[in-house]
Structure 1
């Protein structure tokens, strides 16, 4: 994370993304095939599907999500400060909007 900017990436249900994503937190409703680096957390909503490699500090999945990936969870990245950030106002959060059907891309957001 650079200069106190929190990077969130949200991929909606119509997304079919192939490539690499780097962000503090990622929330997925659609599909990803590739590598995800979500330093503080990756959350799969119901209906989400991910294949590839996941590096994250925290992983959660709702009933109905699917994951066929190598999953590397580093519990040290989920500290008390991260938990406090999850509860705070998101007015200072930077969001990335990913167009649907975005092939062969790399997204970095910190």
Structure 2
């Protein structure tokens, strides 16, 4: 079952500003309308794709196809999903460049 999303009003400048904020982007006043136009164009293309009848069209990439396995062998070639012991936290933290004993310490890379 496919889900169709309708975009009645398109992307507003307020939407562009919110997305930029969430993505931690600083857009100039000149870039905002350009981004609005580009996002609306993308959504227009997605709307066109949603109109296509894909009934009977097989998916293009499945794990079994990537492994080049016959359909009846796909489930057998992958390892079982089973619970296994994790690594020893103390050993891992001992080899870390910086740690508080429980977590890795890394330099701050995002400023807000």
TM-score above 0.5, yes or no? no
Compare relative contact order (CA 8 Å, sep 6+) and give the higher one, 1 or 2. Answer: 1
Q: Normalized per residue, which structure has more helix?
A: 2
Question: TM-score normalized by structure 2?
Answer: 0.17
Q: Normalized per residue, which structure has more strand?
A: 1
Question: TM-score normalized by structure 1?
Answer: 0.17
Q: Which structure would you say has the larger Rg?
A: 2
